Amino acid sequence: MSAPTSYSAKGLDFVFVKATEGRSYINPRQNAQAAQARKAGCVVGFYHFLWPGNIAAQARYFVEKCASILGDILACDWERTSEGTYASNAQKGKFLVEVKRLRPTHRVLLYCNRDFWLNQDTTSFAADGLWIADYVTAGHPRIKAQWRFHQHTDQPLDKDVADFESKTALKEWAHLA
């Protein structure tokens, strides 16, 4: 979510906030966005938009510049850049491993769309879980792989569902309970 600082988290169980991109962008509103979600009792996740190249440096940049605290989820956003390029499958895997090494107490996810999962991914490696984008019925992405979060629309904002029995189960998984 790259929404304004002020948004309603009422009724939400979790919120994902864009933290960083490449090695040059830091979301200046991430602290306020996360605080709003935490105030509403949400599980908070942060994501890094991955660019090709300098993977270890991007992982360090993400964990150092991200406003995460213990129990927050960290995610790699793997998709095409504005230039039409994307990190390779090996680079995606290296980023996930490096973030987990740097923040071993955090859950680490892979975010990608259905096309990337089915046609670019060759390893099915998603660290601690897959966050899949597929704009179909909520909770029914068209993949066979186990997923944790499903982004089912981006209208008017990104909307996701989680594959957990309850908010308590989600918090336990994220190490919050």
Q: What is the pLDDT of residues 12-66, one digit of tens each?
A: 999 999 999 999 999 999 999 999 999 999 999 999 999 999 999 999 999 999 9
pLDDT interval class at 1 (50, 70, 90): very low
- Give the integer Cα–Cα distance in Å for 154 and 165: 24
pLDDT score, position 11: 87
pLDDT score, position 157: 86
Domain that holds residue 89: 14-173
pLDDT score, position 149: 98
pLDDT score, position 7: 72
pLDDT in tens, 62-116: 999 999 999 999 999 999 999 999 999 999 999 999 999 999 999 999 999 999 9
119 in any annotated domain: yes
Instruction: For the chain, give the DSSP string.
Output: ----S----TT-SEEEEEEEETTTEE-TTHHHHHHHHHHTT-EEEEEEE--SS-HHHHHHHHHHHS---TT-EEEEE-S--TTS----HHHHHHHHHHHHHH-TTS-EEEEEEHHHHHHT-SS---TTEEEEE--SSTT--S-SS--SEEEEE-SSS-EEEE-SSSHHHHHHHTT--
CATH of residue 29: 3.20.20.80
Tokens 């490096």 correspond to what residue?
Answer: 98
Instruction: For 139-155, give the DSSP string.
Output: T--S-SS--SEEEEE-S
Torsion 59-49-136-142 (CA) sign: negative
74 in any annotated domain: yes
99 in any annotated domain: yes
Structure tokens at 81: 């850049």
Across the range 114-134, mean pLDDT stands at 97
Whether the predicted pLDDT of 143 surpasses 50: yes
9 in any annotated domain: no
Whether the predicted pLDDT of 3 surpasses 70: no
| End-to-end Cα, the chain, rounded Å | 24
Q: How many domains does the chain have?
A: 1
pLDDT interval class at 5 (50, 70, 90): low
- Give the integer Cα–Cα distance in Å for 128 and 155: 27
157 in any annotated domain: yes
5 in any annotated domain: no
4 in any annotated domain: no
pLDDT score, position 176: 64
pLDDT score, position 175: 87
7 in any annotated domain: no
